[in-house]
Amino acid sequence: MAATMTGERRLEPAVAVAVGLAVFLLVQVTAYTLVGAFEYPLDDVYIHLAVAEQISAGGYGVNPGEYTSAASSPIYPFLLVPFAGAALHAYVPLVWNVVALILCAVLWGRIVQNAVQDRRVALALAVLGPLAFNLAGIAQVGMEHTLHVLAGLAVLRGLQHQFDDDRLHWLLIAGMVLGPLVRFEGLAVTGGAALALAMTGRWKAGASLFAIALALVAAFMAFLTSLGLEPLPNSVMAKLAGGDQDSRFSLLELPMKLAAQVLLSDKAMVMLVAVVIAAVAIPRVTGPARALLAGAVFAGAGHLLLGQFGWFNRYELYALSFVFGMVMLALFRADDMKSARALLLVGFAYLAFSYGSWLLQNGKYGALGIYSQQRNMSTFVKEVYRKPVAVNDLGYVAWNNPNYVLDLWGLASYRALSTRLDNPHEGWADEIVKDAGVELAMIYERWIDTGIGADWVKVGTLRYTGVRAFLGGQVVSFYATTPEAAPELRQQIADFAPRVVGAADLRVEDAP
């Protein structure tokens, strides 16, 4: 039953917003103080910015005149088109994420306000929610994940309206339909909500909304194929690859993938426990509470099997927030669930502490790592080298770069992706680099491994010297892909070395 609205009870949205923004500002100020400049803690956001640049120019990819599907989100690069090519472009993701953070907090506050009658418990959940869902962390990243959580919370609030007022609210429609366009994993939330609607007699609405979401995803896939690309973005295929990242995804790997995730990630363990508790509780409740728990099991199990956890604690948050929200709504609707509610609060508190303490430590060093490594690489390529370049960590180097960028990991090159996954023979990267006419490769050696060409010459190393951040490696190796290109590159690296910023050291590798 919905909680009674009183003057005192209207504090929850304001409290949630205050907590989310306070942590976000604390992390940003701490990072800025350490770095001395604004920077994102991951360079993935620059992939989306690079794609947005090409969209604004009438293309789709990271290089002019070349179609590639480097972005994992169908809709997010289009939201970043404003100010493409201008200095303000780098801050567009920040604006979207701050707005999404505030809206997430408002929705969560209203969900708690209407679901929980006990004022103290409601305020506790209003405080814990933004921390447990790591809203400040994903907003700092500048990617689409805050919008992804927002879509799930919109679905939660819409289901609350549906079950309290018996009306199909626009928030439910928008969240179910648009969530999968933010990230494909949103289909787990849409499916969970459709199941909940079906179990309460609104199966036509649930099936229709799920069908519309699927149709929009299919339309995006058709858009990719119309450009001569694969129906799934390269980045999605890369993330679906096996644990060793050198093989195609196989359904036979799901049990091992689930086991590995639970063993390696405490968040995966928490998700699994929540799903199990929800599944066990389903026979003990009736009506909307049962439907909510079933939807939580569907979404949580879907992410555990097909989704990812980690890498700045961002991939799982849409599912964690939805599952915990669905379980909360169910438990506070059902009678005789005091023990389960107490366990739920423990889960919220654990996630809030785990994410919060982790973020305060890593948010600042993530920004320092990108500033010290990726920004230096980007500046060197754009202001000194000014020619086509190959990388295996796409992002900063590609954004705002008029010269060709070859992605050897494959997010922006299906040839590189398919070769790496299907036929990673000795010297495979050399063949692709030579065909593209690229004479400089800046790589993490262990990522390319035997793909490095036999005649490549190491001409420099960029070493990150700060506290470990979210980088593919501490050392980036600069390779001349032909011996003839080595002397000029060594000179350019030597000239640029004094300009290196942050916690980094750039050194020339002398000729053998």
* 17-71 pLDDT per residue, tens: 999 999 999 999 999 999 999 999 999 999 999 999 999 999 999 999 999 999 9
Residue 4 pLDDT greater than 60, yes or no = no
Are 441 and 489 spatial neighbours (Cβ–Cβ below 8 Å)?
no
Per residue in 93-130, pLDDT tens?
999 999 999 999 999 999 999 999 999 999 999 999 99
Task: Note whether 404 and 386 are within 8 A (CB).
Answer: no
E strand residue ranges, 42-200 = none
Q: What is the mean pLDDT of residues 487-511?
A: 96
87 phi and psi angles, rounded to 5 deg: -65, -30
Q: Is residue 59 classed as helix, strand or coil in its secondary structure?
A: coil
What confidence category does residue 3 fall into, taking pLDDT thresholds of 50, 70 and 90? Answer: very low
How many Å apart are CA 152 and CA 310, to the nearest integer?
Answer: 19
Residue pair 172/200 in contact (Cβ under 8 Å)? The answer is: no
Mean pLDDT of the 346-361 span: 94
- Residue 236's pLDDT band, with cuts at 50, 70 and 90, is confident
The proportion of the chain whose per-residue pLDDT surpasses 90, expressed as a percent, equals 85
User: Is the pLDDT at 498 greater than 60, yes or no?
Assistant: yes
456-490: pLDDT as tens digits: 999 999 999 999 888 999 999 999 999 999 999 99
Question: Is residue 335 exposed (0-12), middle (13-18) or buried (19+ Cβ within 10 Å)?
Answer: exposed
C-alpha 501: how far from its chain's center?
Answer: 27
Q: Is residue 7 scored above 60 in pLDDT?
A: no
Q: What pLDDT is stored for residue 6 in this prediction? A: 43
For the chain, give the percent of residues with pLDDT over 70: 95
pLDDT confidence band for 338 (50 / 70 / 90): confident
Report whether pLDDT(335) > 90. no
Closest C-alpha among 421, 416, 423, 417 to residue 438? 416
| Neighbour-count burial of 420, counting CB atoms closer than 10 A to its CB (0-12 exposed, 13-18 middle, 19+ buried) | buried
CA torsion, ordered 77, 81, 85, 91, to nearest 10 deg = -80
Cβ neighbours for 453, distance < 8 A, ≥ 6 positions apart: 427, 429, 430, 433, 434, 481
Written as six digits, the tokens of 149 are 């959580």
User: Confidence band (pLDDT; 50, 70, 90) for 336?
Assistant: confident
Q: How confident is residue 311, by pLDDT bands cut at 50, 70 and 90? A: confident
- What is the spatial distance between Cα 358 and Cα 266, in angstroms, rounded to a whole number? 12
Mean pLDDT of 235-264: 68
Residue 188 confidence (pLDDT) above 90: yes
**What pLDDT score was predicted for residue 247?**
55
Model pLDDT for residues 40-52, shown as the tens digit of each residue: 999 999 999 999 9
**Average pLDDT for the chain:** 93
Q: Is residue 198 scored above 90 in pLDDT? A: yes
> Which neighbouring-strand residues pair with 83?
none
Asked if residue 169 lies in contact with residue 272, where contact means CB atoms within 8 angstroms, the answer is: no
pLDDT at 420 over 70: yes
Whole-angstrom distance, CA of residue 12 vs CA of residue 219:
39
